[in-house]
Chain A
Amino acid sequence: MKRCLLTSVMTMGLAVTPVFAHAEALKIAFIETMSGPTAQTSIPYLEGIRYGVKKINDAGGFNGEPVVLMEYDNAGDAATTTDRLRAAISAGARIIVQSTSSAIAAQISDYIKRYNIRNKGKELIFFNPGSESHTLVAEKCNFWYFKFSSNPFIRDKALVPTMKERGALGSAVYSINQNYSYGQEYQKAQADDVARAGSKIVGAVLHDVSKIQDFSPYVAQIKESGADTVLSGDWGNDVILLMRAIGASGLKVTVGNCCLDTTGTLSTVGHAAIGAYLVKLYNLEAGGDKGKAFNEDFKSVIGHYPYNEEPTPVFAMMLLANALASAQQPDHSVNVQAIAEALEGASYDSPIGRWSMRKEDHQALFPLTVSMVSTDAAYKWDGTDMGFKLVKVVPPEQTAIPVAEECKMERPAP
């Protein structure tokens, strides 16, 4: 009798104890190419995302819990990507992050779009700080997709007028790019912007990606065309070989490019790079004291100054942090729609200007920096005596390109 009373009192006691729902941690899955020939392009994004997540957790995380970052290697492959996506979803990821390959980004965008239609209430956000293809915010624009990278149109819009202002854009411009969607977009952007600046394109060529070992035939073509400026969206080995071929031939042209700051490029190209213009989302010399503070903080966490594409995912994550702050739910659950709606209107004041998200197509708006390779830059690059001397910070209003007509975004009911 006594024992029965004891157990029933205990049971009733347990029953009336309020059961506090365990606060749900926000899980972010980073799916990227960590092995294979293009693995090195992913490393800056990985480091930037890690720094961003650390900053969010230092400020208290989300829902009072630290944000969890899970990293998956998709080896740059479509089939493996689908597999990793499933693994991430079953591990509870609600935000999928991917950068670099636009083809993989398109695949993930389609997958998440279909998944969200079939799984109302358990939607995912696709956070994309790197892929550049314009179709992702044009035909494929999607309420759950957020794009933080620039693209050839945005970059050239900042680069070409700045080069013209500085007198570096001659009257005869040669356009050389890689033969795939990115390079083709670049070619179009260069044609439009050069025409607007009043100069003439005297030659345009597309070449195979990372296959050409000898660029001297192209340099011979450039020479024959009489160009005094070369605009190129080339990256990786292609830009190294192009710059070296230009240097070896002694041809005097000003080069405008986006990707001379990748590790190994300046040291291999050598002094042939001096005088070349670079357009990028960040420059270590920009931002005054705020910029310096950010550079030093980044160095203390990751181990080196932010370079290449690292600031892009960092600022994107800071924008996410601002959005998360206003998407906290009273019951501490993770409401992805609320996060997406908060992201739409979020903004972040980076050291060089304001980053914000455009509601119509979910393309981020941001300032760009134009710099020139020079031996009297404040921060030396790649173990050489050269660095990127800041020429101009172009504000967000001047870098934004119009919303694509093809984008018809379907918004979910609030």
Chain B
Amino acid sequence: MEFLVVSALNGLIYGLLLFMVAAGLTLVFGMMGIVNFAHASFYMIGAYLAFTISGIAGFWVGLLVAPLIVAVIGMGVERFALRRVYDHGPSQQLLLTFGLAFVCEELIKTFYGNYPVAYLQPHSLDGSAFTVFGASYPAYRFFVGVVAVLMFATLYLLLHGTRIGIIVRAAVQRPAMVSALGHNVSLAFLLVFGVGAWMAGMAGAVGGALLTTSPTIAAQMTILAFVVVVVGGLGSLNGALLASVIIGLLTSFSVGANVSFADFAALFGQRALAEQIGGLLSLRVNTIAGSLPVLLMLLVLLTRPAGLLGERD
């Protein structure tokens, strides 16, 4: 029972971290149709900037300032790079952001080296948040979950409760019409990209201390972020939340699933046959726990390509 509860909590919080990264990506993808391969690079830049700033002015200042810098970088990328390739089609945008991801990784390696850096959580959050079944649950993990929930709440309120939110949501669906109505769609695009980058930077600032901060985290996060976006539905914030929580829980619980297809075949008395055939049939679920999100994406693409909460065009 303890294992179930702790795993559920861990999976939930890991999912929420993924949501922070994927939310910006799905908004940008849904609204501007841009496949932003550099989005997870914003995550990495956020982590490294937070590391540097927290070394000078403390963790909380780093947490506040780093995402803002990343937002500025994001807006700069949109204004000076992406805007030039809008007219040339999606493949040019993809290539641009792909190249940007490489450049970011090499820049990080130039300034910070090839190895992980010691970006650690603040001492004030070192203890336990609460006890569950006699074991203490780490306070910092809980903090990450709280930040993610606050971020989702803020974003939701922004999109559904403010005027600019209405414009953004309309521009996601009908950009030409919104522009014809006299709204500054370019500015809306710029802001959305900036907010997306801000969220990824914030995710990096909290996630970098929870997981590692090294030059490889962008590549690892990119895959998961795209899986979340595809599974949840392009452009759907609720979908991103649902998908990221599902993936977090899936990864968390599959680690404990020391079963394989051969065990399932045992129900029909065919265990020996399954094990003799070997290969996929004797593959244990917990050894592929890291690949299950991608398998889920494959399943979703085959059965419901628009995503769980996405809309078909």
Contact = CB atoms under 8 A, between A and B. Distances in A.
State the majority secondary structure of interface residues on A. helix
Contacts of B252: 214, 216-217
A221 B116 contact: no
Nearest to A267: B118
B289 interface: yes
A37 B215 CA distance: 8
B36 interface: no
Contact of A220 (B3, B138, B215, B291): B3
Nearest to A250: B136
Interface in B109-130: 114-120, 128
Contacts of A268: 116-120, 212-213
A208 B284 CA distance: 12
A263 B287 contact: no
B216 A211 contact: no
A220 B114 contact: no
A358 to B, nearest CB: 34
B138 A213 contact: no
A301 interface: no
A263 B115 contact: yes
Contacts of A207: 255, 286-287, 289-290
Interface in B1-18: 2-3, 6-7, 10-11, 14
A383 B113 CA distance: 15
Interface string B52-85: 0000000000000000000000000000000000
A205 B286 contact: yes
A334 B2 CA distance: 67
Contacts of A208: 287-291
Given A214-B211, A220-B3, A249-B135, A179 B287 contact: yes
B251 A264 contact: no
Interface in A236-260: 237, 240-241, 248-250
A338 interface: no
Contacts of A263: 115
A207 B286 CA distance: 7
Contact of A241 (B6, B7, B135, B211): B211
A40 B116 CA distance: 10
A223 to B, nearest CB: 7
A95 B290 CA distance: 40
B98 interface: no
Given A205-B286, A223-B135, A248-B138, A43 B114 contact: yes
Contact of A237 (B216, B286, B288): B216
A250 B134 CA distance: 11
Contact of A217 (B141, B214, B253): B253
A175 B215 CA distance: 28
Contacts of A267: 117-118
**Which 3 A-B pairs rank lowest in CB-CB distance, beginning with the nearest?**
A208-B290, A264-B115, A217-B255
Interface of B: 2-3, 6-7, 10-11, 14, 114-120, 128, 135-136, 138, 140-141, 211-216, 219-220, 224, 251-253, 255-256, 258, 284, 286-291
